[in-house]
A and B are shown apart, each in its own frame.
Chain A
Amino acid sequence: MSSEYAIEARGLSKHFGSLKAVNQLDLKVPRGQIYGFLGPNGSGKSTTIRMLCGLLTPTEGTATVLDTEVPGDSRDLKPKIGYMTQKFSLFGDMTVFENLQFISEIYSYPKSGRIGRIDELLEKYDLTQQRRQMAGTMSGGQKQRLALACAVLHGPDLLLLDEPTSAVDPQSRRDFWSNLFRLAERGTTILVSTHYMDEAERCHRLAILDRGIKVADGTPRDLQASTGMRVIEVIADDPYAAQAVIHDLAEVASVTQLGVRLRVLIPEHHDNALQIVERALSAAGVDAQSSLSSATLEDVFVAVTMGPEERIA
């Protein structure tokens, strides 16, 4: 009987010496969904993915990945997973075609269908022109498209993608994601780590990691609804002056500048948040318009990944 989750992690931890890279992680990734993994640098995204595919042995905890126990004998699991590493890991001294061919042989893709499958992928990932180019000489985005093509070649049930679009331009990123949605529609479960908010917003569900700890998870909508913060948007002619004033307020959890706009987070238990900001600004003589706003994922991310020293009790 297969479980409704493609991945179910229970108290998964990985320690490197005294560093707890991943700390007591619980995770449930439903089948056929795109599950986002959001977190600052070094928060343990790659480490978690590596544990899930059996590359690293967890210090504590277990996971069930496609009904296979991790850690354990992952031999049967390998053909069902497609893994795209954060760092380019294909062979730079082989051509695009040769790389795909190698992957098709390694996964024992039916011989008769190999060439057809490779051509189809070259087409889908816009690599037809690069067919005979050495993989090592391609641009960053081209490399990532090749890596994704290789990861999906054998039609895996679960795709683990570690920052697949970090070097991809916006247009290609949209194409990339429409490919992911197509895969998900056909039942592929996708776990994808990212730094991009727009990508996180497209995920069915996501988890936010901070220093090895999962600080939030849920659908993007749930997360936005439950930040525990009021968001005030301030538009000022002199955003630097406004920021300086707001930053000094005891109630303010964080201020982020986006061009001429400032996004101010104030914990929910201060119910006159807007007035606090307006009063402070006019007292300081800063010309600005403030309004209550609803939380974006970016606000969620800022709210949950603030260090304890920034967090207001």
Chain B
Amino acid sequence: MKSLSRLGAIIKKEVRQLRRDRLTFGMVFGLPVIQILLFGYAINTDVRHLRTAVANQADTHLSREFIANIGATQVVNIIDEVSTPEELESLLRRGEISIGILIPADFDRRVLDGTRSAVQLLLDGSDPTVLSVASQLRNVPIQYSPAAGTGNRATAIETRPYYNPERRTPVNIVPGLMGVILMMTMMLFTAVAIVRERERGNLELLINTPVSSAELMIGKVTPYIAIGLLQLALILGVGQLLFDVPVRGSIMDLYIAGIAFIAAKLALGLLISTAVHTQFQAMQMTVFILMPSILLSGFMFPFDGMPAVAQFIGEILPTTHFIRLTRGIMLRDAPLAELTTDFYYLVGFTLVAMTIAALRFTKRLD
């Protein structure tokens, strides 16, 4: 009973202080919105309208049709027609185009023949996005109409993306972004929570009161669980409103997964707070964990493509597991019950981190 009222006192104090800290309070809501806008609009891996020039040395019906097909993909924007490969090269070098398409004079024969490549793509290799586009262009069909059936090798490779057929970036980004944004705010707030009171001298007073370590820890993180859930709702709302990001699975499951992840991050933040001596060190530690969480969690790069060491580190990070949960629930309509491994990992992580934090925080100054 006394313990509950002490816990209540700590929570009330935290909320009060947070409300008065205008900047932090603004960040709680501003950060998610700004991040989602940034990631949603700026980081767009759909590449479109790359400046392109064509040197059509064949100038046959087939070659003109091919160029029209390429233009129809909207991946390229044909801004120039030249006659020689040398001209294409010079345009590339000057940075006026990203892609040069060279159609040799014997284009039709090459298409029919099928042993030599019919078209040459000259690519600006200094830009990694351009390289990835080449694979999309390779799928553009070259059909020798009306005689169908022969020389149709390009269309033989067909890709059919599941879950995000339009290949819209926000749909892929938002579930992961939820993890990244929650991680940033939750971890940072709690990482400085204890150490700030240590720096201000409040801790010397607090640890001389009957408040126990556990009460102090739990009291400090509880308000942030509510804030984390608010942020989650905010990200989902903005994602749906602006980018039409679907939630195909149960919204309830999503929030339960969210609570588990928020708790894990808060516990980790507290652990940091007990290990450092200044707020500046707390920030550094947070960034130290932030970077791998962004890079190795599958948010930026596909998890399966990473080397074993990176995968191992990724598996330890709670963000990895949360992103798997959100992608599963939001995009694949998977029930939480089918994603238990990731969910239990988050719960286990929270318990372990919280216990270590409470043990480390010994109510002493030395």
Contact = CB atoms under 8 A, between A and B. Distances in A.
Interface of A: 50, 53-57, 75, 78-79, 81, 83, 85, 87-94, 98, 102-103, 105-108, 150
Contacts of A54: 208, 363-364
Given A81-B208, A91-B17, A106-B210, 11 more contacts: A55-B365, A87-B204, A88-B201, A89-B204, A89-B205, A102-B9, A105-B8, A105-B12, A106-B9, A106-B211, A108-B210
Interface string B1-27: 010011011101100110011000000
A12 to B, nearest CB: 14
A56 B205 contact: no
Contacts of B20: 93
B209 interface: yes
Contacts of A105: 5-6, 8-9, 12
A106 B209 CA distance: 7
Chain B interface size, under 10 / 10 to 19 / 20 to 34 / 35 or more: 20 to 34
Contacts, number: 71
A53 B8 CA distance: 25
Given A57-B364, A93-B21, A107-B210, A83 B205 contact: yes
A71 B183 CA distance: 39
Contact of A94 (B13, B204, B209, B212): B13
Contacts of B363: 54
B207 interface: yes
Nearest to A56: B366
A30 B156 CA distance: 97
A93 B17 contact: yes
A239 to B, nearest CB: 42
Across the A-B interface, give the 8 residue pairs with the lowest CB-CB distance, nearest first: A105-B9, A89-B205, A89-B201, A83-B208, A108-B2, A87-B201, A78-B210, A106-B209
B6 A106 contact: yes
B210 A89 contact: no
Contacts of B212: 75
B61 interface: no
Contacts of B208: 53-55, 78, 81, 83
Contacts of B366: 56-57
A79 B363 CA distance: 15
Interface of B: 2, 5-6, 8-10, 12-13, 16-17, 20-21, 200-205, 207-212, 363-366
28 contacts: A55-B204, A56-B365, A57-B364, A78-B208, A79-B210, A83-B208, A87-B201, A88-B201, A89-B200, A89-B201, A89-B202, A89-B203, A89-B205, A90-B202, A93-B21, A94-B16, A98-B16, A102-B13, A105-B5, A105-B6, A106-B10, A106-B209, A106-B211, A107-B209, A107-B210, A108-B6, A108-B210, A150-B205
A17 to B, nearest CB: 12
B5 A94 contact: no
A89 B8 CA distance: 20
Contacts of B201: 85, 87-89
Nearest to A57: B366
Contact of A55 (B6, B13, B364): B364
A55 B209 contact: no
Contacts of A50: 365
Contacts of B200: 89, 92
Nearest to B205: A89
Most buried by A among B21, B211, B212, B364: B364
A150 B205 CA distance: 10
B13 A91 contact: yes
A85 B198 CA distance: 13
A105 B210 CA distance: 10
B105 to A, nearest CB: 78
Contacts of B202: 89-91
A105 B16 CA distance: 15
A73 to B, nearest CB: 11
B76 to A, nearest CB: 58
Contacts of B364: 54-57
A292 B17 CA distance: 61
Nearest to A55: B365
A87 B12 CA distance: 24
Contacts of B209: 78, 103, 106-107
B17 A90 contact: no
A18 to B, nearest CB: 16
Contacts of A79: 210
A93 B202 CA distance: 12
A136 to B, nearest CB: 9
A98 B19 CA distance: 14
A107 B5 CA distance: 9
A109 to B, nearest CB: 10
Nearest to A71: B364
Nearest to A83: B208
Nearest to B9: A105
B215 to A, nearest CB: 9
Contacts of B10: 106
Contacts of B17: 91, 93-94
A89 B5 CA distance: 22
Contacts of B12: 102, 105
Contacts of A53: 208
A93 B231 CA distance: 25
Nearest to A99: B13
Contacts of B21: 93
A205 to B, nearest CB: 24
A219 B13 CA distance: 43
